[in-house]
Amino acid sequence: MSALRDPVRLIPFLFAGFIIVGTILLAMPFSSASGEWTSLVTAFFTSTSAVAVTGLIIEDTPVYWSMFGQITIMVLFQIGGFGIMTAATLLGLVAGRQFGLRDKMATQVERSRLDIGDAGSVLKLVLKITVVVESVLATILAIRFATVHDYAWEAAIWHGIFHAISAFNNAGFSTFSDSLMGFQTDPVIQVPVMLTIILTALGYPVMQELRARPLQFAKWTLHTKITVSATIVLLLVGFFATLGMEWDNPDTLGPMSTGAKVLNSWFHSITPRTTGFNTLDMGAMRDQTIVLNYILMFIGGGSAGTAGGIKITTFVVLLIIVWSEIRRQRDAVVFGRRIERGVERQALSIATLGATLIMLATMYLLSITGLPLRDVLFEAISAFSTVGLSTGITADLPPSGHIALCVLMFVGRVGTITVATALALGAAQHKPYRYPEEAPIVG
């Protein structure tokens, strides 16, 4: 029971509990459209994917699952997304109060700038943002589905609500079998979804600061400066790279008009870092575009948000360390602030652990399947980074492969929060002695 009183250990227990409950509900006959029992592996995989707000699926969501099953999935990724934002933020506050350091970035939350008095305030504000954004997006989508795409109002409202909640939580689940590929030329569907994904992928601390200090870059915290700046750069890189590499691909952008190419390239500069929605066939993309997606998925989005990956701040801190080392500078400095040594080590640890887990999972999946490395690596990174995009091999994996992906999704989602916090809390433990220093040869 002592583990349950530890906030760092409590989070995995809570998420595991929701996954188990979801598995039981989804396995029931009333959750499937056929009225038959669902295998435990399929139910467990779908529940894990939903709670971890990933979006990978074994069975086609609108075809296989009944309305009860679809609602259950929606509730699970709503709980998962809300829990991720609040858990990451609250654990960040725990770490911040432990040290009282303004620039502590282990969980990428700066206590001195959050202006939050207690946990209740965090929960209320996250809930308020969730309700407002989801309601606005659901309204826009429902009206568009009904008035332009000829859905009955009942169906349009359902599709609007489901996709609004899925987009806000970066879940990637869809009530359309081809995700959003049926709306390749509709900016009124794509643009609001993109804006919602970008907003929530920034993370709750950044959303809160942008709300309090809009367009006041000089007054932003270091975390907000890094997250916003790097997000803009990654969006531009993803857009121009996708547009250039897929421009004449007959299976993706090739047949489209110039306007549609631009629109869908923007969409696919966003989704690989955050959510599993797609308007293009991922399996038909060229190898160089797939490699780009590897990178974007692994980096992910902002901390204390619903996006996955190792997080933007972790990636930027690593870049700053490398650049400082190249320039033979003593300190890693960005925006006039020096990065703490402890944070540098935490960023390196998170990235290394993530890369190692992906490598091991890829090797295992390759050993039990005859699938190409290109697709298996994509699947492993997507699962760990809780992105949910796939080249189409998810359903082809054996049960043991599905379990492996479940481990990746759980660790990639819950593990990054708890590991980052544990590293932050562990950094406060100083031994009363230090070992002699020696420099081994590297490189």
Say if 21 falls within a structural domain. yes
Reduce the DSSP state of residue 115 to 3 states and report it.
Answer: coil
Say if 439 falls within a structural domain. no
- Tell me how many domains the chain contains: 1
Residues in Cβ contact with 437 at an 8 Å cutoff, skipping those fewer than 6 apart: none
C-beta separation of 393 from 57 below 8 A: no
Range of the domain at 336: 2-426
75's tokens: 């509730």
Cα radius of gyration (the chain): 21
Sort strands 337-338 and 333-334 into parallel, antiparallel or unpaired.
antiparallel
Say if 234 falls within a structural domain. yes
Task: Identify residue 301 by its one-letter amino acid code.
Answer: G
Whole-structure pTM over 0.85, yes or no? yes
Say if 418 falls within a structural domain. yes
Say if 22 falls within a structural domain. yes
What is the rounded CA–CA span in Å between residue 243 and residue 288?
12
Find, among 83, 114, 98, the residue nearest to 424 by Cα.
Answer: 98
**In tens digits, what is the pLDDT along the chain, a chain of 443 residues?**
444 455 566 778 888 899 999 999 999 999 999 999 999 999 999 999 999 999 999 999 999 999 999 999 999 999 988 877 776 666 665 555 443 333 333 333 333 344 444 556 667 778 888 999 999 999 999 999 999 999 999 999 999 999 999 999 999 999 999 999 999 999 999 999 999 999 988 988 888 888 888 888 888 999 999 999 999 999 999 999 999 999 999 999 999 999 999 999 999 999 988 888 999 999 999 999 999 999 999 999 988 778 889 999 999 999 999 999 998 888 889 998 899 887 888 889 889 989 999 999 999 999 999 999 999 999 999 999 999 999 999 999 999 999 999 999 999 888 766 665 655 555 555 567 777 878 787 77
CB-facing half-sphere around the CA of 4: CA atoms within 13 A: 6
C-beta separation of 252 from 243 below 8 A: no
Say if 113 falls within a structural domain. yes
Say if 96 falls within a structural domain. yes
Find, among 58, 278, 50, 84, the residue nearest to 166 by Cα.
Answer: 50
Rounded to 5°, angle at Cα 330 from 328 and 333: 100
Say if 442 falls within a structural domain. no
**Across the strands, what pairs with 333?**
338
What is the rounded CA–CA span in Å between residue 116 and residue 102?
14
